[in-house]
Amino acid sequence: MLPCQELTLCFRSAAHAHWFDFVAPGLNDEYHVLAPDQRGHGDSEWDLSAHPEYNYDRYAADLHELSEKLDLRDFILIGHSMGGLVSTVYAATYPGRARAFIMVDSSLDLPAERIASMKSVGSREGSSYESSNEFLANYKIRSSGSSATPDMVRHLGMHSGRQFEDGRWRNKVDRNVYARRVGRNLIPYWAHIRIPALLMRGDRSKRISPQIVAQVRAHAPQVQVAEVAGCDHHVTLDNPRGFVEACKQWIACID
């Protein structure tokens, strides 16, 4: 029997589709799970133009084009971290295809110092290694605070690096993703989101504060909140089972 619903996952900045490998098996018994690599991330191509379009509007347009190409309709959109911001812009700008939206531990109004830090990171040369083994040995999850197991970290690292033309191993992400980052307050976008929506947060994370929830609900009163125990920012790594259960319970309530 084919899964009954489409479910599309979007991820955090500098990450890739394999970050959802720990939760997809718990969802694909009921859903057809899609986890695309955004441009400049994972195995997707980099934008090599003079002014690469690594911004929320372009990412959201990419998601729209993907949904049209695959003829995705009535799907459930889940976005974590930067993926949640991209999904917010998508849901507000391209109504009519997604039927529900789950935003996972995203910062809807990044402070200026955080944007400046990202630009600084992206503007300097990243670490490089002589071999895949050396890359893997030095791979770390950022931001810190995750309780992901060593096996999880190794799995992510195995899919995070590639060998470049100079023979050195580096992270697959285009560093312009950070260097070109522009801050934007996305809370007003919620005035244009009318589908059922859930704000999911880790119980140890401060990104979705009560103040943020109140501001979002002022624009979108249908929004609900779920908290997953034992989690910092990386909810899908810190408590995969809790993430899956929270998704399924909420989706069951809106069906």
Mean confidence (pLDDT) of the chain: 93
What average pLDDT does the segment 69-90 reach?
A: 94
Angle between helices 56-69 and 82-93 (to 10 degrees): 70
Using alpha carbons only, give the angle 38, 41, 46 rounded to the nearest 5 degrees: 95
Q: Does residue 2 register a pLDDT over 50?
A: no
CA distance 72 to 63: 11
Q: Is the pLDDT of residue 1 over 50?
A: no
3-state secondary structure of 99: strand
Query: How far is residue 77's CA from residue 106's CA, in Å, rounded to a whole number?
Result: 14
Q: Which fold has domain 5-110+183-254?
A: Rossmann fold (3.40.50)
pLDDT grade for 182, boundaries at 50, 70 and 90: confident
Question: What's the full length of the chain, in residues?
Answer: 255
The two structure tokens encoding residue 133: 């083994």
Average pLDDT rounded to a whole number, residues 115-132: 92
Residues with Cβ within 8 Å of 13's Cβ and at least 6 positions away in sequence, in order, are 41, 81, 82, 118, 177, 178, 181
Which pLDDT value is given to residue 207?
95
**What is the pLDDT averaged over residues 93-119?**
92
- Per DSSP, the three-state class of 195 is coil
Span 217-234, average pLDDT: 97
Residue 30 confidence (pLDDT) above 80: yes
Using 50, 70 and 90 to split pLDDT, how confident is the model at 69?
very high
Q: Which of 196, 195, 131, 134 is nearest to 163 (CA)?
A: 131
Tokens 């690594």 label which residue?
54
What is the rounded distance in angstroms from the CA atom of residue 207 to the CA atom of residue 109?
A: 9
- 162, 172 contact by CB (below 8 A): yes
Average pLDDT estimate for 215-234: 97
How large is the average pLDDT for residues 244-252? Answer: 96
Give the contacts of 151 (CB within 8 A, at least 6 positions apart): none
Domain residue spans of the chain: 5-110+183-254
Does 120 score more than 80 pLDDT?
yes
Look at residue 187 in the predicted model and tell me its pLDDT: 97
What pLDDT score does 112 carry? 85
Amino acid at 44: S
Report residue 12 as tokens: 């955090």
Q: What is the rounded distance in angstroms from the CA atom of residue 136 to the CA atom of residue 114?
A: 27
Q: What is the model's pLDDT at position 12?
A: 56
Q: Within its chain, how far is the Cα of 66 from the centroid?
A: 16
In this prediction, residues 95-118 reach a mean pLDDT of 92
Give the model's pLDDT for residue 3. Answer: 42
CA atoms within 13 A on the CB side of 54: 29
Lowest mean pLDDT among 7-11, 139-143, 177-181, 209-213: 7-11
| pLDDT at residue 143 in the model | 77
> For residue 255, what pLDDT band results from cuts at 50, 70 and 90?
confident
What is the arithmetic mean of pLDDT over 75-102?
A: 95
Nearest to 76 by CA among 68, 62, 87, 92: 87
Whether the model clears a pTM of 0.85, i.e. scores above it, the answer is yes
